[in-house]
Structure formats: structure tokens, C-alpha cells
Structure 1
């Protein structure tokens, strides 16, 4: 059983069930929601005749983690300047206790930075990536409890026809109702699989209609916008910088062909939150890594040719970028990181001057 305490443990306890696969006609009027469909197109990771994947629902926690890192560095910069700058303070009892407290705070304060660097190096997937296998009519994913980070991922493959979709209101934020997919034991009704798509930025009914259209309908009925969907999945890239560009390209801030355009915009935005964007790029880059299991590989059979879904083809500039050899992209991000580091160093010095 892989459920949080606030979710149902039995299929009869689902909050707001909606149409199961193949049990009713798909409400195509839901696919006319321009804003939601555009969002889903931006979140598509790969779409082809055999499988559909979305970029794992991204979450705001990493912003808190990045802020924690910055606050920690800032706090210890202040503490070190106080210690170095005031000789009388060094001889006081206050400083003794101050240093004792500082030592005990050092480890937890540095933990986010250590974990961030560890993630950059090891590239562990953080969020679950679900593969909707159209040809096989199955859903494949890996599961591991978030708090059991040393436990290996466990492969899960479920039949699409056994899915029970439910609109479960978030108990911590009543304004949002994400789509949840459940699979239950046919004999006991106990829920054996819980697929948490957790995309709070889209109408869950539209999301489910989009998934059903892909799994149950011809390709020409899926509202795919070629300007957002590419033939080159992010997880095949060796370049962290090229993956970071995805964040901006999917929002139309820079050209989609990795040509190096939009430099100034990236400097302005990237210099402020470059570390967070690189962390998100690392997240995109490693999502598929856990899925490379023989039992799943044989289900992912598409050869990359004759895709019936409208997608933009990979350009020579993007090919070089994803290999780490597009220096327009590389220099852009190096400069953005340098600006980011310079601004932070200036803030610390200015505060303590």
C-alpha cells in the first residue's frame, strides 16, 4: 500500500470519482479549454504512437530549499564578519554561547547546499514519471516513498483499463483539486496503486480528458501544439544548460531552436534565480533514469520515426546544445551564474559594510 494517510484506503472511499477508461464517451468540449490545453502541451515530455509522458509536476519546495541555502550562507557570512571585526566581542561570554549555537546550527544550515550538490552529481529522480503506454494499454512508473531515499525504486506496471480516476481535494489547500488515479484489488476493493499526477495548475477534468483522448482515440483527436512539443526528450541530454533552456523555451521567452537568441532576457531572469532553474533542469534531465528497466524498455518500442502527432523536429542548434557543444547556450548560462554569484556577494558585503 503506497498511500498517504489523508487518502482513501478502499475504492468505496474515493471522494469524487469520474468516468473510468472506456466506460463513457470523452467530453471533447473539455479539450476546448485554451489555457489548460496550452499548459498540458507545455508539460508534455514526449508524445508518440507508443507512449505519452509529462514532465513530472514541479513543486515550490525547491524555491524554499534554494532560499534556505542563501539564508544559510548569508547568516554565516554575517557571523564570521562579526567575529573577525570586533575583538572585544571575542572575549565576552556572549561570544562563547554565540559560537556554541553557531556550531550546532552549522550542520542543518548547510544541509540544503550539500543535498543540492549531491543531486547535481548523482542525478536521482525526485518526482515520479508516469508512462502512458498506448500500444500496450498500460501505465508504467517507479515508486519509492519520499522519506525512504535509500530504498531502491520499485517498478509498477498497471493496466490502464483498471484505473479509477478521482478528484481528491487537497486537505492542505482547499483551492486545488488534483487528479488522482487509483487501482484496486478486484476482490477486496483495497487500493493497491495510487498515481498522484499532482498538477495543480490545470483543471483535473481537462487533464483526464487529455489522457483518455491519447489512450483511447486516434492521433488526430489529441490537441497537440507543435510549438511546445519536440522530438528530443530532455532526459537524453548531456547538457544541464540546454535543459535549463527548456524552462524558458516552453514559455516563449527565447526561441525554441537553441539559436542563442534572447540573451539579455536570460541574463536578467537567469541571474536572479539561476540556481533554481539549474536545479529544475537537473530534475528534467534525470526523470527517465529510473524507468530504464528491462520490463519497461520492451514496452517503449517506438523507433522515433513517422510520428502521427504534430511535434517540432530537432534542429542542428538544439542537437549541439543537448550535446553540450552549443557555446551560445553555454556562455549564456555561465554569464547568468556569474551575475548571480556577483549579486549575492555584493549583497552580503553591502549588508555588513
Structure 2
């Protein structure tokens, strides 16, 4: 799903186009040790990599939603406490009591809207970011698309030829500090842009990201800088457990081991108890990512039989399978305790502030 309108409608409006597929040799220096942080980040973001397709877990600023949640919930609790005092003072006067109840409802509805929407998202698991599939054997890119303002419209599967892609380092008009990688496809006759692929990963050098994608699509498997200690196969979008998806955040940062053992639990408990809302929202984001691979028309493009993957991606362990099925008690108990701790801290803060 595109979160904003296209900021370019014609190929001449592109800001800083870089080399197109197969036009020049890939700059291997972008994939060397000097770019270690960027390569490590891309390894952590990989969702699937095999001889047929490459995907990344879409990135987004979950901290923003965490901060917004705290502001709204704090405001709501403060207003409810204030309104409760007002109702207590005016309880003997029926007309004023009716007015107070109306005011309370007027405050309650907008204040609770973010929480209601958040819970609704946790239950329905509606996708809100596009998942792109780079098909190596087919030399195509497949993705689902639906305009943001047409949220009732079903997603439409789109497939573009990789060789027709025009990469552009267009500065984000809404955040001048970042220049994410954008991929365009234009009509060869008119120059009008027909497809706009927004990878929107602000945490990686876009030139390194493009060199990484080009290496996968155009080079042998040995040329792709994959670290099997980092790059893991997360079954996030088919997981039955929101908690297991929340653990991905900590496993990416090396706080939790990839085998879902008991190590690192204390650190996750401490950090998670403070930012549980953000962790769970990001987990929901992972869990509800729309998979174009499930589309029948897309399945016809796949040729890999699931055997002999030349890319050294770390397999999912038995404990991890239990976790993603919602049957790993260590994961479940830890996150339940984290949520209860988070709620307790919040209630204590509200009561202390209003006492």
C-alpha cells in the first residue's frame, strides 16, 4: 500500500536516477566491509531468499506509534479523572449531570479512538505496507497494491519486468533528512510513470540497498553478502503468535538467540515492559504483511521446489516453530508479564499524577 501519492508523474521529474539493471557493472565496493552496518541491516531485514525470490520485512517507524499511543492514553486517563470529579460535583443537579455525561462521551470517543483502532488492527490483521518480491528466475518484481484512500478495495497484484526498472534517489518531501530508494517503471513512449515501488527503508544507504538487490537479481548466489548468523527465515506473516513476532525485534538486535532458548529473557523483560505497545504494534505489522506468494497468478511464476537453497539462511528451529504456533510457554509467559507490567506502570503513573 502506498502511504502517499506519487511525487513524480513523468520520468523527467525524477530527482537523481542511478544505474539501471544490467546497464553497468555492479559497484562491489558498496558490498564490502566498509559498508558493514548497511549489509548487516539488510541481512536482518531479509524475510526470504532463495534461487527464485527475495523479500524483505517492510520497515516503518514504530516508535512514532508508541509515542502517539502514550500521549493519547495519558490524555484520556487525565480527562476521565477530571470528568469523574466534575460528575461527582454536579451529581445532585440532573440537568447539569446530563450535560456532564454528554461532555464525558464527547471526550471519551475521540480519546479512545487510537486504542480502539489499535485493538481492531490486532484482531483483523489488515496489511498496511506493501511486500515486494524480487523474482530472480523470472526477472520480475511482484507486489500487491491498493491506494490508501481506497481501503475497502481489494489488493491488486502487479508484476513488472526487472529490466524496465528505473531506480531513483528521490529525497523524501516529507522528511528532508532521508533519501530512500524508489523504483519506477515508465511508459517507453510517453515517459509517464506506470509503477512506483517504494521500498522506504530509511535506515540503509540506498546505493548499498540497490547494489544488494542488483547482486541478487544479476549475479551468482556466492556474490550476495549473506551472513548465516544474522539472516534468518522468519515465518512472521503466517504466524499464529503475536508474541513470537514481537520477539523478532530482539532477535534482530542480538538480544535474544535465534533458537528461542531461555537466554536474554531479563533484558527483553526490562525493555519490553517500557515499550510494549511499540513492540506489539511492530509485531502486528510483521504478522499481517500481505504475501503475494499466496496469489494463484503469482504461484505460476515460481519455479523453485524448496530444495537446495544456495543462500546460507539460518533455518527455523523446533523451538521457533512452537513459538510461531503460539505453543512456546517461555515466549507467551514473558510477553503476558511484560504487558501486565506495562499496564501497571501506566496506571501507577496516572494515579500518581492525579493524586
Of residues 13-22 and 281-290 in structure 1, the stretch that sits farther from structure 2 once superposed is: 281-290
Q: Contact (CA 8 Å) 2:16, 2:169: kept in 1 or not?
A: yes
Cα distance in 1 for partners of 2:91, 2:286 equals 48
Residue matched to 2:257: 255
Rate the CA distance shift 1:90–1:46 in 2: closer, same or farther, 3 A. Answer: farther
Q: Superposed, which structure 2 residues align to 1:298-309 within 5 Å?
A: 298-309=300-311
Q: Superposed, which structure 2 residues align to 1:187-206 within 5 Å?
A: 187-206=189-208
Note the C-alpha offset of 1:117.
1.2
The alignment partner of 1:304 has SS state of coil
Question: How high is the TM-score relative to the length of structure 1?
Answer: 0.92
Residue matched to 1:18: 18
Residue matched to 1:293: 295
Rate the CA distance shift 1:293–1:245 in 2: closer, same or farther, 3 A. Answer: same
Q: Contact (CA 8 Å) 2:39, 2:225: kept in 1 or not?
A: yes
Note the C-alpha offset of 1:73.
3.5
Q: Report whether the alignment pairs 1:83 with 2:86.
A: yes
Q: Superposed, which structure 2 residues align to 1:83-122 within 5 Å?
A: 83=86, 86-87=88-89, 100-122=102-124
Note the C-alpha offset of 1:279.
1.4
Cα distance in 1 for partners of 2:92, 2:300 equals 66
Cα distance in 2 for partners of 1:97, 1:252 equals 55
Q: Contact (CA 8 Å) 1:255, 1:261: kept in 2 or not?
A: yes
Of residues 58-67 and 199-208 in structure 1, the stretch that sits farther from structure 2 once superposed is: 58-67
Residue matched to 2:318: 316
Give per-residue Cα distances to partners, 1:58-93, cap 9 Å, x unaligned: 124423442344234423432344235x52687599
Q: Report whether the alignment pairs 1:74 with 2:88.
A: no
Of residues 299-308 and 128-137 in structure 1, the stretch that sits farther from structure 2 once superposed is: 299-308
Q: Contact (CA 8 Å) 2:237, 2:288: kept in 1 or not?
A: yes
Rate the CA distance shift 1:154–1:345 in 2: closer, same or farther, 3 A. Answer: same
Q: Report whether the alignment pairs 1:170 with 2:172.
A: yes
Residue matched to 1:8: 8
Note the C-alpha offset of 1:287.
0.6
The alignment partner of 1:309 has SS state of coil
Cα distance in 2 for partners of 1:90, 1:201 equals 58
The alignment partner of 1:206 has SS state of helix
Cα distance in 2 for partners of 1:335, 1:302 equals 42
Residue matched to 2:345: 343
Note the C-alpha offset of 1:204.
0.5
Unaligned 5+ segments in structure 2 are none
Residue matched to 2:283: 281
Of residues 35-44 and 20-29 in structure 1, the stretch that sits farther from structure 2 once superposed is: 35-44
The alignment partner of 1:254 has SS state of coil
Residue matched to 2:27: 27
Q: Report whether the alignment pairs 1:63 with 2:66.
A: yes
Of residues 254-263 and 64-73 in structure 1, the stretch that sits farther from structure 2 once superposed is: 64-73
Unaligned 5+ segments in structure 1 are none
Q: Contact (CA 8 Å) 1:3, 1:9: kept in 2 or not?
A: no
Q: Superposed, which structure 2 residues align to 1:111-150 within 5 Å?
A: 111-150=113-152
Of residues 342-351 and 243-252 in structure 1, the stretch that sits farther from structure 2 once superposed is: 342-351
Cα distance in 1 for partners of 2:92, 2:176 equals 51
Note the C-alpha offset of 1:255.
1.1
The alignment partner of 2:275 has SS state of helix
Cα distance in 2 for partners of 1:4, 1:329 equals 36
Note the C-alpha offset of 1:299.
2.4
